[in-house]
Each structure stands twice: as structure tokens, then as C-alpha cells.
Structure 1
Amino acid sequence: MKKFVISMTCFAMSVSSLAAGPAQVTANVNFRDAPGTGSNVLGNIPESSTVDLLDCDGSGAWCAVEFEGQTGFVSGKYLMETEGENTSPWPRAFGLEGDAFIVLYEPQFTEWADFLKLDALLAAEYRETETAEPIFGVIGLRGDTAKNSDDRTVVVSNMTVTEMDFSALKREQLAKVSVGVGELLPTGALTVPEERIVAGLANYQQVTDVDGLKADPPQIFVSQDASRLVQTDGTAIFAPVQGAPDVEFVVNTNWDLFRVGGALWIRDESSWMTAPELTGPWTEVSELPAELSALPEDGNWTDTREALTPVVYDEGAPHIFYSETPSEMVLFHGPPTFEAVPGGDLEWASNTEADIFRHKPTGTYYYLVSGRWFSTASLEDGPWAFATPDLPKDFQNIPDDVPYYTVRASVPGTSEANEARLRAAIPELARVSLADIEPPTVSYDGEPEFAPIEGTDMSYAVNTQSQVILVSGKYFLVVDGVWFTSDTANGPWVPATQVPETIYTIPPSSPVHNVTYVRVYEYDDNEALYGFTAGYLFGFLSWGVFVHGTGWYYNPYWHHHNRPIYYPRPLSYGGGIYYNPARGNYGRYGYAYGPYRGIEARTSWNPRTGTYARGARVYGPSGSRGFVYANNPRTGTKVAARGGENIYGKWGSASVRNGSEHLNIKAADRENGGQGVKWDSSRGDGFAMSGRRGNTFAGRDGEVYRKVGDDWESWDPGNGWNDVKAPSRDQLQRPAAGTTARDRLQNQNGNGGLKGKAQDGIQRRDGRPAADRVPAGVSRDVSARERANQRSNQVRDTPQRARPAAKPKTRVEPPRAKPKPRQPQQRVQAPRTPTRAKPQRTPTRAAPQRRPSGGGGHRGGGGGHRRR
């Protein structure tokens, strides 16, 4: 009978393996034909030998391995997995004093206070010996965070233990666990994929909306024929082209639009059209006036000069729509074609690049642009009305395996919308050397001119592209996410280590509102830590979603001397701007909006050089059709064609370093494929057990849950695992004081001193007990959440402060790995092909097979792809 049981155990372990992976033995170990010390010894595996790790049993005590062509079993405590790039290091087992060991499961993130301190819970499994019954508990951790925008990870440092909840452990066992866990904390910083944290917190940690944004619909043109949208920022401003006599160009548009001999000429890629006036009629031309050949070779007109031989349109010239205000265009390829959206009464327009839906019961059309939904009863006649707060519930049922699933990020109440909002609230941080940073220079059109900021006692400089704020006789300036100050409007400028709080009351109606999203987080005599959130790049939280632009129209500054001086302001519309979840930011796309994809790529005047800075030079070649970040003139129009641009990278100097650089995280350490948290402690006897991935969770209610197939179980210290319903959201949130399993046991036994002794046993690396980690001014006699709230009040306010999560109304499962967001790709004409398969359940584990060598998962988000 015993032989039969052993054989069945061997079979079960072998067939459950996902795939073989390399591991190393940490001592001379016996190689056995079955798990257990009573089984036959096949031989000895020398210390440091490499084996193929097939799988481990439920506790990690015994693992099936392959060594020199033979399959057998070794004690799991003497194995350390050699993790490849895409290997999840969870769960991880560590040896403790004597024969005891502990298994740690992947952290579940619970709170991110001010996006600077991250709290997490780990489900943990303790065993006194390899054959002892397991005792499950929960360990709480906290660390300091800094976002690394280059690879979209979060660096977590200074990890400490905040709580331990092992209600069934005896006092001496708990002390052993406490000391051991303190030693198991990572010796260096952790690198966590941003999407892991955001996915775990999006439905629990809410961020506040911005008051004062506008949602007035822009002018929306709808066409079923080839069309182009030509926009000027107000009345067209004509300026002479230096070096080209008798040639003028329109400064305040993104198009190459010229006036020669009283006629207008516009370039559309390699084709040209002419008209007597901006409103048309426009006709195609095969020859250009000779004056255009004199365009100078100064870098402003490179694309234009290459297109001076007009190319005839294949299917006739497009229609030109002209507007003096930022507008949008819905361009269908023929009559609108609608397809049914699964799961409701919506239909999707498949033959347009715009996001257009129709609600069948009402016949209402919905259009998404700049993160805002607008509706109309008639595409041809309008009128359009703001609709985000009143979307039909069917929008929340849009599935994630369709080519238009990206709109879910703009539907209030969806997890995608919550994640987008949370991403937008994470600050980009940089450490600035106060002595070494290069002081900026501010250029004005003449003497500095200031205009009042509505509703405040402050004013801002209007005749410059720089953002200069006058507060109580002191001048403050933001340049690429860093604050400076001066006693005069012309400088000299020095880094500001303190900014008046009144600045953060500048309303969205002001064109300098975005500076309120730049903060000084900390400073000393040598360095200051600056940071900005998405509002600095004109991405805001409102109406339960993440939107682009304030919705306000800011009049540009222009003045006509011997030539017109023009300074553009940020715009909310005019480029078909949409949110891409794969990149976590807004971008533009569309041939119809011009060669530089929208009106934001305008020209501006540089009084220092006396020349115009052409949008063409800033925005790159017209042939580059990749995703373009929706930037604006206020923050610099340099575009990140390959994704989210880090503003601090513009400094290009060692005096300004990304907030995570001081942690000395190697690039290789961050390449973890987005699968989980890398965890490297000083203990050399830990290993990641290949066969037990992510099925055990530390609930936010202090309980331990695990999922077995489609069923859920909860751990009870007295009765082991018990079947439960899928945990509700309430159960997964952090508990109030006195409601954890440990608290309940203490209440029953009157053992109120156990927790304190356990905490005393957890040691910091500096030798002080964990109890000393409670900051001054924070009471130890309150719950963990209350302590976090007290701590957060001691930290400087962030532009979009987190607020306690409201009580959820729906039930969800515990946090689990989320499918990677669909990668941006090229827009195509109908029919569109879905680019992301519907998430599948974890497949049944196959029989063990050797893991192929090499190979790393593709990390998405490359440039040069269109949206669909």
C-alpha cells in the first residue's frame, strides 16, 4: 500500500509541472526515488550542482527534479531556482531556525499612501518540520517607492515589516518566525511592474477629481468622403518666410499653408491644393509657384522642399473643412457601417478611425475624444452634448477581446478607467543637485507683461512661452518639472525648495493651471526631490475617468511688430486625441488632421533668435506614423514617438536624476516581463517553487484565501482549509482594528500581549525593534490603516491626494495576475482584427518537459504602430 501511495505521489507531482526549470542545490543532498526520508536513495547530488526543477508538493518540502538524465526527488529546502527573465519567483520558501521553514506567497498590494509609501500583505505558510501541519498567516510590509518611467516599473526600497498575523503559532514559534522574517526582507530595492500595483489597487484606492474642468463639445465635422481638417488657432496669422521673398506662411496652424501672389497653397503629404481663401474652394494642382522653390534650407522646411513636385491624388482631391477653433472630425470610409457589440445593445462603427458607437434602443450616437464622450441623435446635423456621466450601462459590458476595447478606459466604473486614473496620479520623481543644475533663461516679447489669475491674488506672464507666476512680489518658474524662484521676472533663477501653497489654488480656467501638479517633495542642503503627475502634461481626473485637457480655450498671445509674434497655448481638442492603455497616456493619430497630427504642432516665436520654431522641426517627419504623445507647448513639444516621455529626461544632465536612479537598480534587474516582484534576500536557501503559482492570497480582511480550480477556500487555524464563497470586496479590504483572525483569537484567549511580543521580535537592519518604526506623532494603539492616514498627514500634499476607498457594491475575486494590456498597433480600415485574445483560464498542467533554453518574452509598446 505504501508503495502505491508513493507511486501516486510521484505521478501527481510529475504531471502537475508547468515546465522544467533550472535550479541549484545548496548542499550535498540525497537523491531519492520518492518524496520523504523513508524512500530509497538513488545517489547523492553534490553542492552547487544544477538540476532541472520539475515541480514541488503543496508545502514545498519535496521537489521532483531531473539530474543527469534521471528523475527523482530532493528536499526542497536545499534547492534554489535559477530564475530566468520570465520566471515568476513565487511562492518562495526559506529555511528558518532548525528544520522549520516558511513559504511566502506573492505580495498583494493594499495601499499606496501619497504614492510614496506602498503597503502590501503576503500570505505565509509556516511549518515546524517538513512533515508538520502547515500554519498559515499574513505578513504586512511597507516600503518607499519611486516610479521608473523608462520601463514602467516602481522601485520599492527601505522595506519594513508592519504586522504579523499567525494566530495559531505558539509564542516561541512566533518569535522564530519574527526573527526569520526580518532576515528575509530584501537586501536591496524591489522592482515591481507598475501594472501589477495598479491592477491590485485600482478598485480599492480612489483618487479625487479635479474641480472646474469643462466639457463643452468642440465643433465636430462628419464626412463619408475623403476629407481633411485645416484648423487655425483663431484668425489666421501670416508671417514672412525668411529668405523667400513674396512667400508668407500661416503661423498658427499645423499645416504647411502658404500665401503666394494672393492665392493660398496647402501641402497634403506630397500633394498640393490651392484656393482663393481659407474657406475654399480648394482644387488640386500639378504645378507650384516658382516662389516656393526659394524656401530656405534651415531645417524648418525640409519636408516641404522634398514635396515641391506635386503628386496627383489617386482618387481625386479630398474635401477641406476649415475652422478657426480647435475642432474634431469623424471620417467614415463610405456610409457608416455598424457591428453589434457583444453583451448589450450597442453597435460599433467599424469603418472609421474615430470611436463611434450607437445605442440601438434610443438611436443615440456616442463619440469619444480627449477622454470625453459626446452624444447626438444625428451624425449629420447634431447637435452634440457631453455624455460621459450618462453613458448607458452597456458601455461597461464591452468585452476585452474586441478591437475597440480600449474605450473601456474612458467608461466610468470600469477597472480600466480606475487603472488609468491611478496611473495618472503616480508622480514622476527626480533628484536635483541644487548647486549644479543649469539655471534657465526666460525670454519675453519686450518687457515682461503679467495678467491676473482669476479668483486669486496671483498673476502670470503672458508674453512668453515660459510659465512665470508672480506671488506676493516673488517670482516662481517651472521648467521641465523643476521649480525655480527669483526676485525679478528676468532672473537670475535658482531652484526653489519651497513653493507657496497658494499656487496650488490656480484654477483650470488659467493656462498655467498645470504647474499645480509639480511639487517639491523633500529637500536638504544639497538636493531636492521634485515630482509631477499627469496634470502637468494636461491629463486630468474628472467624471470618473482620465481626460486630456482642461476643456478651456486659452487665447494665444500674439503681437504684430515688423513681423507677428505668436505664442500658442495648450489645447484640449484638435487632434483626435485618445487614451492608449498599453502606453498609459494620451496620443494623437490621423492623416485627416494634417501632416503633424493636429493643431498642437504649431509654430512659435523665439525672441532670442528672432526666428520661428516650426512644429515640423519639433514633431518629427510626417512619415512617422507611430503613436504620438499628446504634449503641449507649455511643457515643450518634443514628442516621444515610442511612448511616455519622461520630462526629467530633457535635462540631459547628471544634476537631474530620475527618482529611482539613486537606488542603483541595474537594467537587467528590471527585465522581469511584468510577471511579478523580484525578491532577493541575504538568505541563500530560498527558492521559487515552480508548481505553485499565485493560488494563495493574503486577503485585505486579514484572512488567507486560496483558489482551487473554480472554488475558493479560507484558512481556519483550528480546522484548516474550508470551502467559502468567492470573497467579496469587503472581505478583501483592510480590516478595522480587532477584526483579524489574530484579534479574534486574542479576544477568546485573553492573550492581548502576544502581538506586542511578536513585534519586538522583528528586527530592523539597524538592530532596532520593529516597534520603533512607528513615526513620531503616530499612535501605536490604532489600526494599520489609521496609522497610514496619520502618516500621510505628515507628508506634503500631492496634487491628487488619495482618499479612502468607498464601500464597494460588487463582489470581486482576490487580486490576481492581469493580462497584459493590448499593444498599440496600426489603425486599419474595416474589418479590424482584434489584437488581444480573450484571457483564458490557466491550462491544465502537462507532464514535465525540459524547458527550452533562452527566449525572453516580448515587451510591447514599440513605436511605429497604429492604434487598432
Structure 2
Amino acid sequence: MRWLVIVLLTLSFTVAQGAKKSSDKALVWPKDYKLGEHDITVFQPQVESLKEDELLATSAFKFTQDKKEYYGSFSIKGRALVDKSKDLVSLSQIKVINVQVPAAKKDPKELQAQLQGLYDGKSYDIPYRAVINNMQVQVSEGERPKPEIKNDVPKFFYVKEPAVLVMISGDPQWAESKGAKEVKRVINTSALILHEENKEFYLWALGKWYGASNLMGPYKAGASPSQKYGIIKEDLIKDKKIDPISGKTADGKSIYPPQINPEIIISTRPSELLQSQGEPQFQAIAGTALLYMSNSPNSIFLDSKTQDYYVLVTGRWFTAKNLTQGPYSYVPGRNLPHDFAKIGANSPVADALVSVPGTAQAKQAAIVSNIPQMAKVDKSTQPKNIDCDGAQKWTNIQGTSLKYAENCNTPIIQVNEKQFYAIQDGVWFTSTSGVGPWTVAVAVPQSIYKIPSSSPIYYVTYVRVYDSNDQFVTVGYTPGYQGTFVSADGTIVYGTGYAYSSYTSGTTWYPAPATYGFGAGYGYGYDEGYYMGFSMGVMMSPWGWGTCCWGGYYPPPIHVTNIYTNWGKHTIVTGPGGGFNVNTIGDTKFARAHGSGEIYAGHDGQIYRRNPGGQWQQYQGPGAWDDINRKNAGELENLHQTRNVSERVPANSRPPDRGSAQQLRGGGGMRAGGGFHGGGFRR
């Protein structure tokens, strides 16, 4: 079983407030309360680990006995339910363990029982961002094979004028149009491309028809096909079978002036569009020999020493001597010029640091990719709208004994003749037949988690079942389910890099996951690093974009999106309920303890304090503290720096003004409904 350990980060506790960010309210530590005959001060806890859905935290405390102050520590263990979209980690089934009171004449077992009484039947919430700030992570892949990430070079189109990239998934496949069989439609694209024999090709985009004498263009705006083309278009838009490519922002505004007709670029292979508004303009990056293209929405850099261009797409680096002519080659992050690691955290291009191995931003992004989004699913839940193109066609999954139905809109896996599993919106279902009836799965065979990254349904291995009871099943997914993976460099990349074959028939297209064509770039640092995720270029029209982005909708970052909301309130519980504010455990209300807020329980179980001058001391007994060597205080300084996560000043992200070029917006090329957006990953 795959697990992760998150070492020594600091928590802030708060009450859940629906969708409102829980950390909006700064909390004060330490806290005083009465426990039996003792007045006890509890200092801000630190998380020791998060393993699957089990969270362990340790806190230092102080109490008075015989007019002397004693210090100790205790740990709490509980079930964690992570809801990234609400910035909440809900902790329930809390157990108090490992109470230590050195030098005090106090029975630890008695004190543990008293503390446990405060937590019985209660749950509380932790800000999610407190769980990801300044922490270290150790990941054990367990039985999951390490994904093989491919870095084959896509085709790059560099243009200096507005352009739209339209992807066709391989060679064009034509299908008859409803009500007008003589009009054929390219079925293996999300865009609308129509054609009649011996007539022009027509593409609908930006509210107008474009015409061309060749499928690959060039296309010219202002074409006027016959009325039947308009009827076909309206029917397909109504049925959400094509992407109208509206070219509008989230607030409904056009990203192009009325007189602008962007160039239409058609590609049948993995491709990326690079754009600048006119001739490229470069600005220097302070402290480096690097320049960045300031009038481009893309991450394009120039090394002034070598005159090499570096382009960052999908978390991967590519280099070329000429942006237009190439040739481009892949660059492992570890082989980048050292100046990339010197980009300042406040630089306009600081988000590139996520893709530079060894940087704090890269490490934190990798941590986030291993924290699951979780929910409790009612066992009565049923999958929605599972469709197959005729009888199921079973395809072997290489390296396993499993098969999957290639001609269905939902991943359906055959384990054996009487055991089938389907996944939809992050929930596993099981049946004795490939056509159902389906029930929510309370366990998933380990063989499924051995599906290799060469399989188009590899992403399903990032959804887990954690627990179950008579009514609910606790499930969760990590960002791999939405296409985010950790590369060999330890950095985050979008997509496996495989050019999977899609299923296409005369009437149906089920797209396979795609890596390129989304203009995907990683957004880092929005509001303390919380809103981290791959973003999709506004006017990218990638494979499988069609069934999502209506009316200028841009999905939120994929590390924050909670796809479990698609099931509705009555089906999914994203928190255990019964939450309470740790300011008021039991009947006791806490007050600020004066002058002693710098007490910590170290990872070694010892008690430490930090004086106003920054000197660290270790507790030796009542009234006795010994100085420790500053060189050995690195871990303690990390605790100190993370102690007030909820009060931090939001980190700087890329400033909104990068020339007048259109910025990346929202989501990661994913649909909020599960897996890759639209037809990238099937729902």
C-alpha cells in the first residue's frame, strides 16, 4: 500500500465554516484550560505524520504541581478527511497516546485518561494549508510501480499574432451528421469541423465560421456555409458534443477585439502553441543571466550566455536555438543552467521554480501531489450514465492479468470472470458483471494498482478506498487521478507523456488522456502556496476539451478542485461533522498564556523553547533549561517559522501584468468531474 509520511509541520486548529476558508480566523496559542485539579497550558501542536488517512500530531504542554512548573508532551492520532477545496482537514476518532511528563510526580496514564475524555466523540478541523507549509515528506511507493514518465518532444508552433490551436487525435476520422448524412464531421476532435465532398472545410470558432480548401488550412474567417451547417452546429452544442471555442473569459468578455481573427492551427500530433504579442520582448531576471519573454503568456526564457531558448510546458523543459524553426529537445531539470535555481521568489516568473529540482517550491509541489482529496460516500450511491459503444470490447492491460473495456466512457476493469470494477468521479464501484448492477466498493484489488503508466487508464491507480462502515465508504484521490505526476527529477509534470490511442468508431469517440495541447503551466504561491495546480491556456483547444468549458468556464486548480461535489450533498460527506473549536474543548474556554508561547515538542520527544533573542533551550526539569547549539537547531527553526500559518502574509505569485498578453486561467486542462478534463481522462 502506498503511503506518505509528513514530518514535523505546524498546525492551526479552527472550526469548520462551510466553504469559507477555515484559516481566515487567526488562532492564538498557547491555550489554557483546567483538567482535573491542574491548570494546563497546551502549546501549538506539530504534525508528525499523515499515513494514508491517519494523522499523528504532538503537542507540548505545561502544568503546575506543588507550586512548580512542569513540561511534558502528548500525541493525538485520528482519522483525517482532507477537503482541499475548503482548506480543511477534519480529524475524528481521536486517540490520545504517548503522554510524557518527565521530572513530574504525575501518573501519565491518569493524565492520558483525562485528556482522552476531552476528545471522545469530538472532531475538529485543521487548515489544509497548515498541512502543506514548510514540511518534509517521505513517500514509499509500496506496491505501486513507479510511473514511467515520457518526455518525447511535442511539435511547437511559435506565432507572433493571435492564434488558436485545434487538436485532432491522430488521423481525422469522419462521421455522418445527424439529419444531413452528406455532411461529414471530424469526430476525433472536440472542435466542430464539417465537410461535404468537393466543397470547403468549415470550422466553427469565436462565434463565426472559418473556411478552408484543405483540412489543415489555412482558414479564413467569414465563411458562409448553407443553413444546414448551422442546424448541425446548434444540435451538437445543445448535446454538448463539441466545443464551440467561444473565446471568452470567465466573466463573458471576448479575449480578442471584434476586428481580430486569430490564425487557426490544426495539428494531428501532440503539439504546443507558443505565442507573443508582436515581436518578442525580454526582461532580465535579477541576479541571473536569464531573460524572460514579457509579452507572452508562455514560460519562455533566454540564456544570455549561450543564446539558448528554454520553454516550460507541462512541467517539462525544452530548449532550442530558434523558437520558430527549432529543433527542440528535452532538458532534464537537473541539467538546467544553475541560474534557474536563482530566480527570486518575488520574480514575475517565480512559478517556474516549481519545475527546478531542489527548490523549496518544487519540494512543496511534490508534497501536495501526495496529499489526497477525501470524502465519505454513501453506500447506496450508483454510477451515472455509463455508456458503451455497443458490446464491451475488452483489451489486455500490459504487464497485468487485467482487462479494460476500451469502448466505454467510464473505466471498467475486469479482474476475473466474476469481478469487475468501475470508477467514476473518484469513487470505485464493483460488480459481478461488466454491465452491473454496481455497488460502491469497500476494497480494491492490489492488482489494479499495478497498472503501468503505459496504459491509458493508469490514472485510476491514484484513487483509494481507506475505510468503510455500515453506511459510508471513505475514499480519496491524489492529483495523479487528474494527470499530475512526480518526474524522475522530483518535480511535478502534467500527463504521463504517452501518446495513447483513443477509441473511435463511426459514431463515437472516447479520447484517451493527452499531455500536450493544453498550454499547461503550474501556478504556485497563490495565497501561501495553497492554490497550486496546473493551469490551462485560455485559447488552447486540446484533445477532449469539448464537454466541459461552456460559457467561458475555467476549472479551478486541480490540487484544489474537489470532484466529489459532483455527487451532490446527499451522497457525499466531505467532513465528519460534530466539529468543535479547540478554543473550547469540553466546557473550558481558553485564554492566552502570557510570555510562554515559544514552547515546542521536538521530533525527538524532548521539550524546547526559544527566547526572544533566538536562542534555543532544552527542558531539563522544573526551572531548568539548557542552551543548545544553534547549528543543531535547524528542525526547531522550521517549527518556529511554521507556527502561525494562518497569520502569514500570502506569498507572491506571478504578477498579473506580463505585458498585455493573455494570462493562463484556472484549471489544468481537467474537467472538475474526474480525471482529465473533457475527454482527456474518461469520467
TM-score bracket for this pair, using the shorter chain length = 0.7 to 0.9
- Contact persistence 1:695–1:708 (CA under 8 A): yes
SS at match of 2:86: coil
Q: Alpha-carbon deviation of 1:312? A: 10
Alignment length, in residue pairs? 620
Specify every segment of 5 or more residues in structure 1 that has no aligned partner in the other structure, as ranges: 1-82, 603-614, 631-642, 670-676, 734-810, 835-862, 864-868
Aligned partner letter, 2:56: D
Structure 1 match to 2:577: 663
Structure 2 match to 1:75: none
- Contact persistence 1:431–1:659 (CA under 8 A): yes
Map 1:429-828 to 2 at 5 A.
429-434=374-379, 436-438=380-382, 442-473=386-417, 474-524=419-469, 526-543=471-488, 544-560=490-506, 564-581=507-524, 582=526, 584=531, 586-594=533-541, 598-602=542-546, 615=547, 618-621=548-551, 623-624=552-553, 626-628=554-556, 644-652=560-568, 654=570, 656-660=571-575, 662-665=576-579, 678-689=582-593, 695-709=598-612, 711-717=614-620, 720-726=624-630, 728=632, 731=635, 815-818=642-645, 819=648, 828=657
Superposition RMSD on alpha carbons, in Å?
Answer: 3.8
CA shift digits 1:538-570 (9 cap, x unpaired) = 22222212222111111111122xxx3221111
User: Alpha carbons of 1:226 and 1:685: their partners in 2 closer, same or farther (altered >3 Å)?
Assistant: closer
Q: Does 1:103 align with 2:41?
A: yes
Aligned partner letter, 1:407: A
CA shift digits 1:263-298 (9 cap, x unpaired) = 122334235432111332233327554443434654
Alpha-carbon separation, structure 2, partners of 1:106 and 1:122: 6
Q: Alpha-carbon deviation of 1:106? A: 1.0
Structure 1 match to 2:132: 198
Structure 1 match to 2:364: 419
Q: Does 1:224 align with 2:164?
A: no
Alpha-carbon separation, structure 2, partners of 1:120 and 1:96: 20
CA shift digits 1:1-55 (9 cap, x unpaired) = xxxxxxxxxxxxxxxxxxxxxxxxxxxxxxxxxxxxxxxxxxxxxxxxxxxxxxx
Q: Does 1:276 align with 2:276?
A: no
- Contact persistence 2:449–2:461 (CA under 8 A): yes
User: Alpha carbons of 1:373 and 1:688: their partners in 2 closer, same or farther (altered >3 Å)?
Assistant: farther
Question: Identity across aligned pairs (percent)?
Answer: 26
SS at match of 2:615: strand
Structure 2 match to 1:365: 309
Alpha-carbon separation, structure 2, partners of 1:510 and 1:470: 14
- Contact persistence 2:609–2:617 (CA under 8 A): yes
- Contact persistence 1:729–1:813 (CA under 8 A): no
User: Alpha carbons of 1:148 and 1:505: their partners in 2 closer, same or farther (altered >3 Å)?
Assistant: same
- Contact persistence 2:346–2:653 (CA under 8 A): no
Structure 1 match to 2:19: none
Q: Alpha-carbon deviation of 1:627? A: 4.8
Alpha-carbon separation, structure 1, partners of 2:348 and 2:36: 54
Alpha-carbon separation, structure 2, partners of 1:423 and 1:311: 32
User: Alpha carbons of 1:693 and 1:127: their partners in 2 closer, same or farther (altered >3 Å)?
Assistant: closer
User: Alpha carbons of 1:825 and 1:84: their partners in 2 closer, same or farther (altered >3 Å)?
Assistant: closer
Q: Does 1:87 align with 2:1?
A: no
SS at match of 1:356: strand
Q: Does 1:348 align with 2:251?
A: no
User: Alpha carbons of 1:491 and 1:591: their partners in 2 closer, same or farther (altered >3 Å)?
Assistant: closer
Structure 1 match to 2:82: 147
User: Alpha carbons of 1:529 and 1:488: their partners in 2 closer, same or farther (altered >3 Å)?
Assistant: same
SS at match of 1:663: coil
Return the match for 2:98 from 156, 163, 173.
Answer: 163
CA shift digits 1:787-845 (9 cap, x unpaired) = xxxxxxxxxxxxxxxxxxxxxxxx996533354655889954417999xxxxxxxxxxx
CA shift digits 1:672-725 (9 cap, x unpaired) = xxxxx8443114252235x76964332223333444456232133257455545
Alpha-carbon separation, structure 2, partners of 1:464 and 1:227: 34
Aligned partner letter, 2:522: Y
- Contact persistence 1:427–1:531 (CA under 8 A): yes
- Contact persistence 1:237–1:252 (CA under 8 A): yes
Structure 2 match to 1:258: 194
Alpha-carbon separation, structure 2, partners of 1:244 and 1:312: 33
Q: What TM-score comes out, normalization by structure 2 length? A: 0.80
User: Alpha carbons of 1:206 and 1:352: their partners in 2 closer, same or farther (altered >3 Å)?
Assistant: same
Alpha-carbon separation, structure 1, partners of 2:202 and 2:90: 53
Alpha-carbon separation, structure 1, partners of 2:560 and 2:113: 42
CA shift digits 1:645-677 (9 cap, x unpaired) = 3232222263x32352x3344xxx7xxxxxxx8
Structure 2 match to 1:407: 352
Alpha-carbon separation, structure 2, partners of 1:345 and 1:186: 59
Aligned partner letter, 2:568: G
Structure 2 match to 1:332: 276
Alpha-carbon separation, structure 2, partners of 1:109 and 1:374: 38
Structure having the higher Rg: 1
- Contact persistence 2:376–2:475 (CA under 8 A): yes
Q: Alpha-carbon deviation of 1:368? A: 1.9
- Contact persistence 1:459–1:469 (CA under 8 A): yes
Alpha-carbon separation, structure 1, partners of 2:399 and 2:512: 20
Alpha-carbon separation, structure 2, partners of 1:111 and 1:686: 26
Alpha-carbon separation, structure 2, partners of 1:392 and 1:679: 50
343-352 or 570-579, which deviates more = 343-352
Alpha-carbon separation, structure 2, partners of 1:570 and 1:482: 19
User: Alpha carbons of 1:172 and 1:281: their partners in 2 closer, same or farther (altered >3 Å)?
Assistant: closer
549-558 or 821-830, which deviates more = 821-830
Return the match for 2:171 from 229, 235, 255.
Answer: 235
CA shift digits 1:711-767 (9 cap, x unpaired) = 23213325745554546477559xxxxxxxxxxxxxxxxxxxxxxxxxxxxxxxxxx
User: Alpha carbons of 1:723 and 1:493: their partners in 2 closer, same or farther (altered >3 Å)?
Assistant: same
Specify every segment of 5 or more residues in structure 2 that has no aligned partner in the other structure, as ranges: 1-21, 248-253, 664-671, 673-683
Q: Alpha-carbon deviation of 1:361? A: 3.5
User: Alpha carbons of 1:812 and 1:106: their partners in 2 closer, same or farther (altered >3 Å)?
Assistant: closer
Alpha-carbon separation, structure 2, partners of 1:249 and 1:389: 45
- Contact persistence 2:81–2:375 (CA under 8 A): no
Alpha-carbon separation, structure 1, partners of 2:168 and 2:126: 45
CA shift digits 1:112-155 (9 cap, x unpaired) = 122x12122223233348xx564433332222211124402101
CA shift digits 1:356-377 (9 cap, x unpaired) = 2233444333222222222334
SS at match of 1:425: coil
Aligned partner letter, 1:574: G
- Contact persistence 1:477–1:485 (CA under 8 A): yes
Q: Alpha-carbon deviation of 1:447? A: 1.9
Alpha-carbon separation, structure 2, partners of 1:491 and 1:816: 51
User: Alpha carbons of 1:433 and 1:591: their partners in 2 closer, same or farther (altered >3 Å)?
Assistant: closer
Alpha-carbon separation, structure 2, partners of 1:646 and 1:528: 17
- Contact persistence 2:206–2:245 (CA under 8 A): no
User: Alpha carbons of 1:507 and 1:204: their partners in 2 closer, same or farther (altered >3 Å)?
Assistant: closer
